[in-house]
Amino acid sequence: MSNSDLPPGSDKDWGKLLHQLRFPPRAEPQPFFYARVHARLLAQADAANALLPNWLRKPAYAAALCALVLAMSGDGAVAAPAGAGYPTSNPAQPLAR
């Protein structure tokens, strides 16, 4: 029971096709693909870097800024000696001038 609609030598054609499917040719990117990817990455990096100033992107400067803000905020109890501006006696008595 042979199939008569197949041309002679089709087994070789099928063999070549199956061989190509087992070992496909290596895919190549389109021309200038890596240049486009590099340009897109640089554009995204520039957009992300525009939110913060250059000096604030460095962790040491950011930590120093946070320490400075924390040191300057508050009531100044850290910088003043104990009891330097606050009365230690009975608060009901008026302060002497």
pLDDT digits (tens, 9 = 90+) for 40-67: 998 888 776 677 777 777 888 888 888 8
Note the Cα 23 to chain centre separation in Å: 38
**C-beta separation of 15 from 21 below 8 A:** no
Helix (H, G, I), strand (E, B), or coil: what is residue 81? coil
pLDDT confidence of residue 73: 81
Q: Which of residues 38 and 6 earns the better pLDDT score? A: 38
Of 48, 65, 47, residue with least CA distance to 56? 65
Q: Give the C-alpha separation, 68 to 22, whole Å.
A: 65
In the chain, % of residues over pLDDT 70: 62
Sorted by where each begins, the domain ranges of the chain are 31-72
Question: CB within 8 A of 61, min separation 6: which ones?
Answer: 55
